[in-house]
Amino acid sequence: MSSSVTMPEPASFGRRLKRFMADRPLIPLIILLIILVAILQVLRPGIVNERWIANTAKFAIPLAILAGCQTMTMLTGGIDLSVGTVATMSAFIMATQIVNQNPTVAFILAMLPAVLIGLVNGIGVGVFRVHPLIMTLGTSLIGTGFLQVYQRTVIASGASIPDFLNWLGTGLTYGFPNALFLFVPVAALIVFTLNRTGFGRLLYAVGDNERAARLSGVRYWQVITALYVISGLLAGITGLLYIGLIKAPSLSLAEPLVLPSVAAAVIGGTSIFGGRGGYMGTIVGALILTVLTTLLTILQMPEGGRRILFGFIVLFVTAAYLRIIEDR
C-alpha cells in the first residue's frame, strides 16, 4: 500500500529541554542574564567586579519596583503608566518640603499624591471601567500639570536631599547597596502577596476571567481599587529611593523608567492580557534591561543607534522567550 508518514519521535533532546524550560520559565531568563554579563566581560575584561555589581543593583532596584507595579496591574489585564509621574511627584515634594518641614510631615506630604493618584486610577478603572491605559495616562498628565504648578510655589525655597535618602540611594554596607534594605522586603512582600494571599489569587483570577471571578463572588472594583492604590504607593516609595540615587530633583525624574518598567515585566514573562506571570521573572527582567543598557553604553554607539538596538533586542528577547515557554 501507500507509504506511511511517521511523525517525529517523541521526546527528542530538544523537546525535553524545551519542556524543562517551559516548566521553569525563570531558567532561560537567568541564562540570558548570564550571557549578557559574559559578553560585557569579554568586551571590557575586568569590568564585572564587586563595584560594578553593586552599581548595577542600585540602578536595577528602582526599575524593578516600578516593574512590580506593572506586573501586578498587568496580571489583571491592566497597566499603570502613571508610575513615572507618581514617583517624580513624591521625589520632588520630598526634596522641596524637607527644607522647612520635619521629615515625617514631608514624607506624608510626599506620599499623599501617590495614594491619591492610585485611588483615582483604581476608581476610574474599577468602577467606571475606563481602560487602564487611558486612565493612568490621563492621571499621569494631570499629575505632571499639578507638579508644574507646585514647582512655581516652592521655587524660592530650594530643594535638598535628606541624608537618609542619600544613604538609601547610594550608600553601601559591606559592599552591598543599602537600597537592598528596602528592596528585599518589598520584593518578598510582592512575591508573597501574589502567591500566598487571597488578594494575589484575585489579581490572577480577575485578569484571567473577570466573569468567572464575579460568579465566584469577587467584586471587581474592590480588587482593582486596592491594586492601583498599592501600585501608587510603591511608585511613590520608588520615587524617594530614586531621588536618593539621582540627587537632582526635576519634573521628569522617573519618567524614563516607565516604559522600561513595562518591558521588564513583559520580558519577565507576565502577560499583558492578564492572568499569567509573576514577580521573580520581572526582577530578572529588570536586571536584564539594566545590564543591556550598560552593554550598549560601552559599545559607544550614538544615542539613536543605541535606542534602536535596545528596542530590537527587547522585541527579540520577548518573542523568543514566549516561544520557549509556550508549548503546543
Residues engaged in binding other proteins (CB under 8 A): 1-11, 19, 22-23, 192, 196-199, 201-202, 204-205, 208-209, 211-219, 222, 226, 275-276, 327-328
- Say if CB 162 and CB 104 are below 8 A apart: no
Q: Which is nearer to other proteins, 208 or 255 (CB)?
A: 208
Single out the residue of 82, 19, 25 nearest to residue 276, CA to CA: 25
Helix/strand/coil for 281: helix
Task: Say how far residue 326 (Cα) sits from the centre of its chain.
Answer: 23
Q: Which is nearer to other proteins, 107 or 204 (CB)?
A: 204
- CA–CA dist 86, 73 (Å, integer): 15
- Say if CB 145 and CB 85 are below 8 A apart: no
Least spacing, CB of residue 190 vs other proteins, in Å: 14
Q: Which is nearer to other proteins, 5 or 156 (CB)?
A: 5
Q: Which is nearer to other proteins, 7 or 156 (CB)?
A: 7
CB-based burial label for 161 (10 Å; 0-12, 13-18, 19+):
buried
Task: Provide the β-strand partners of residue 126.
Answer: none
Q: Which is nearer to other proteins, 192 or 312 (CB)?
A: 192
Least spacing, CB of residue 223 vs other proteins, in Å: 9
Least spacing, CB of residue 22 vs other proteins, in Å: 8
Least spacing, CB of residue 227 vs other proteins, in Å: 11
Least spacing, CB of residue 280 vs other proteins, in Å: 17
- Say if CB 126 and CB 222 are below 8 A apart: yes
- Output the nine-digit C-alpha cell for 32: 540570558
Residue 219's φ and ψ, nearest 5 degrees, are -95, 110
Give the CA angle between residues 299, 304, 307 to the nearest 5°: 70
Least spacing, CB of residue 205 vs other proteins, in Å: 5
Q: Which is nearer to other proteins, 23 or 163 (CB)?
A: 23
